[in-house]
Amino acid sequence: MNDEEIVRKYSDMIYGVAMRYVRNRTDADDVYSDVFYRYFRRQRTFDSEEHRKAWLLRVTVNCSKDFVMNRGYSEEIQEDMFGSETLYGTTEASAEDILAVREAIKKLDDEHREIIELYYFSGLSVGEIGQMLQKSVNTVKSQLLRGRNKLKELLV
C-alpha cells in the first residue's frame, strides 16, 4: 500500500479520534498532521493492516492526550462540531435529544466518556478500543456497560 492510499484509508479514523479528544477542528488538524508526520518520518514495517491500524490509533490517542495536556486545553466544546453528521450520523433524533445526550456524556467520568465516544462516535470495535487503550476486551466491555448505565441514569 503506497503512502497516498494509507492517508486516504485512515484519514477519517485519525481525524475522528482526534476530534473526540481535542474537541475542535483546528486542534484536530494539528493532531492529524502530527500523527502522519510520525508515521512517515521513518520507514515502518507492520505484520498486517490491523497492526498498522492499531499503531495509528495508539499514536492518535497519545498525540491527542499530549496536545490536551501541553496546551492547557479547556473543556469547552465548539458549538459548530455538534451539528455535524460525522459526529451523530444520520440519526432521526431531535435537536433536544442530541443536546441532552451531549450534556449527559460531558458529565461522565473521563474513562467512561472515552469508551462511549470511541465505540459509538468513532465506530471502533471493543477489540480495537482495547488495543488502543491497552486494556483487555473484557475490561472495555465492562466499562462500556457501566458507561451506558451511567448515561441512562443521567438521561432519565
Q: Is residue 33 part of a domain?
A: yes
Q: What is the pLDDT of residue 94?
A: 66
- CATH number at 27 reads 1.10.1740
Q: Is residue 142 part of a domain?
A: yes
Q: Is the pLDDT of residue 76 over 80?
A: no
The set of residues, in sequence order, having a beta carbon less than 8 Å from that of 42 and lying 6+ positions away, is none
2 and 60 assigned to the same domain: yes
Q: How far apart are CA 125 and CA 122, in angstroms?
A: 9
DSSP 119: I
Q: Is residue 65 part of a domain?
A: yes
Q: Is residue 78 part of a domain?
A: no
Q: Is residue 10 part of a domain?
A: yes
DSSP 87-106: HHTT----HHHHHHHHHHHH
Per-residue pLDDT reduced to its tens digit, 102-129: 788 889 998 898 888 888 877 788 988 8
Q: What is the pLDDT of residue 142?
A: 93
Q: Is residue 87 part of a domain?
A: no
46 and 99 assigned to the same domain: no
Q: Average the pLDDT over 125-151 and give the result.
A: 90
Q: Is the pLDDT of residue 77 over 60?
A: no
Band of the pLDDT at 91, cuts 50, 70, 90? very low
Contact 86, 16 (CB under 8 A): yes
Write down the pTM of the prediction.
0.56
* Domains identified in the chain, total number: 2
Q: Is residue 119 part of a domain?
A: yes
Give residue 103's domain range: 93-156
Q: How far apart are CA 76 and CA 147, in angstroms?
A: 21
Check residues 98 and 141 and name the one with the higher pLDDT: 141
Boundary of a domain, candidates 72, 102, 130: 72
Per-residue pLDDT reduced to its tens digit, 18-29: 988 888 899 999
Grid cell for residue 140: 472495555
